[in-house]
Amino acid sequence: MIKKLFVFVITILILTFSAVQLFPYIRQLFLETGIAQEEILIAGTGSMYPTFPKVEDKDELVAASKVVAWPQMKRFPGGIKLFETNYFSYQLQYGDIVEFENEKTRQISQRKYNEIAGFVKRVIGIADDSIEFRDGFVLLNNKILNEPYTAKPRSTYGGEFLPDCKSLIVPSGYVLVLGDNRKASLDSRHELGLVALSDIKYVLPWNNQEEYKKLWRDTKEDTLLAHTATLNPQQFIELLNAKRKEKKLKQYNYNALLSVSGKRRGYAMIQTNDFSTEASKSGVTLAKAVKESGYHNIIFAEVYTRGFYEAQELLENFLEFPETKKILYSPQYQDIGIAAILGEIDGCPAQVVVAHLGGYLPPNYSKEEKESWTKLIANLEEVIPSWRMAKEAEGIDQNKLDQLLIILDTRLANAKKIQSRMDANLWLTESEKKLVEDDKKLSEEAQSIIDTLSRR
């Protein structure tokens, strides 16, 4: 009995020792075949939000340096390789989350985060799938894809690799991947392009994502957003005014007429596919749109962009560019109006956002300008009585004299109007500007009559 017990203990010890010695090899085998899973670290950049958390920090480097999730993923493709053939390997499908690294990810991560790293994205298209981005939705094989995992509904818009309304067939050996947070993800729409299967290192299958579904959205009303504007104009103005307040600038006043002029410009842009400030195709310039709207002020400005932006996104976009930032932060303007216009360009849904600003600046006339009109008034007040006295003189063409007096009186009245506006430091109206132009002609006519009367 003691001998049997001794043999049993020795056997257990040998097996235990063997298991301990073999454990690293067994574990490695399990990992390579995909039976065991590994912990993959997810940075807080937010590209896969809401499935994985994001760091609420505007500094991308800070966000990228923080780990926010540790999902268990299995190696891809897994399986058992015998005689150059891989048996029982995993076949990617729609909705899988993959971790991959290639030359593009290395370039992008080095440029943006100062370190080389792989990407984690969701598989949206596999070999032979047709993918198209239209009106903010993904069309998978010509049908709108139901995407509860996305951060926002109707938030997928094309990029430089795959623009809106351009269909792409995923070739064999590649997948098309997107981040769940579509407006904050560098993925297959952009320079990353398609991802080769050979670049994929790990996969979290769709069927293993149950624990994340509680973080996802209800998508039953997503399609109701089709063909609607994404911008809330009032919210944009509130956000902009908050920024201006931080800079101790006066708040903009909303003016409905400037929204009307913005809408007029936007429609013209879409109808003619003309996004130039000169409006060379449409002929609807800023000045024309503002005039037709009925808005009156001294100076105007315009900022516009094309894209399906929400209020915060639009403000961030405008403030990225020095010219539009300068206009929005200018102290010269007091009024603002903004319009989001929907339409189609070459059969593709489009949204154009146009903001018009108006304001008043005092003219600050030069001393010389004001003195010239003062001198003219003094001169006319001096000579007009002399010509009136000529009404009693003989040998004077009274008809010519009457014409002269009418012209001189007209010039005097006009000059006093203009001098009054200048003294008040007010801009001349259109009619007053015409008086300035007419005065030159009246001066020439008066001089011609004086010459005629003098010869007699």
Contact status, residue 133 vs residue 126, Cβ threshold 8 Å = no
Give the C-alpha separation, 265 to 288, whole Å.
9
Q: Which is more confidently placed, 5 or 92?
A: 92
pLDDT at 336 over 90: yes
Burial class (CB in 10 A: 0-12, 13-18, 19+), 17: exposed
The pLDDT-based confidence of 173 (bands split at 50, 70, 90) is very high
Predicted pLDDT at 64? 87
Mean pLDDT of 193-205: 97
pLDDT at 30 over 70: no
Give the C-alpha separation, 188 to 109, whole Å.
15
Q: Tell me the CATH architecture of domain 233-359.
A: 3-Layer(aba) Sandwich (3.40)
Q: Which is more confidently placed, 10 or 369?
A: 369
Least confident of 28-37, 144-153, 203-212, 239-248: 28-37
Contact status, residue 170 vs residue 126, Cβ threshold 8 Å = yes
- Domain residue ranges in the chain: 31-225, 233-359, 367-455
- The pair of structure tokens assigned to 366 is 């030069």
Q: What percent of the chain shows pLDDT beyond 70?
A: 90
Q: What is the pLDDT of residues 56-76, one digit of tens each?
A: 877 788 888 899 999 999 999
pLDDT at 1 over 80: no
Q: Tell me the CATH architecture of domain 31-225.
A: Ribbon (2.10)
Predicted pLDDT at 9? 46
pLDDT at 23 over 70: no
**Average pLDDT score over the chain:** 90
Q: How far is CA 115 from CA 104, 106, 108, 109, 370, in A?
A: 13, 8, 9, 6, 65
Burial class (CB in 10 A: 0-12, 13-18, 19+), 245: exposed
Burial class (CB in 10 A: 0-12, 13-18, 19+), 74: buried
Q: What percent of the chain shows pLDDT beyond 90?
A: 77
Predicted pLDDT at 90? 94
Predicted pLDDT at 81? 65
Alpha helices in 191-246 (DSSP H): 233-246
Helices 286-293, 256-272: axis angle to 10 degrees equals 130
The pLDDT-based confidence of 87 (bands split at 50, 70, 90) is low
The pLDDT-based confidence of 33 (bands split at 50, 70, 90) is low
Predicted pLDDT at 65? 86
Predicted pLDDT at 82? 61
Predicted pLDDT at 59? 78
Burial 206-217 (b: 16+ CB within 10 A, else e): bebbeebeeebe
End-to-end CA distance of the chain: 159
Predicted pLDDT at 456? 59
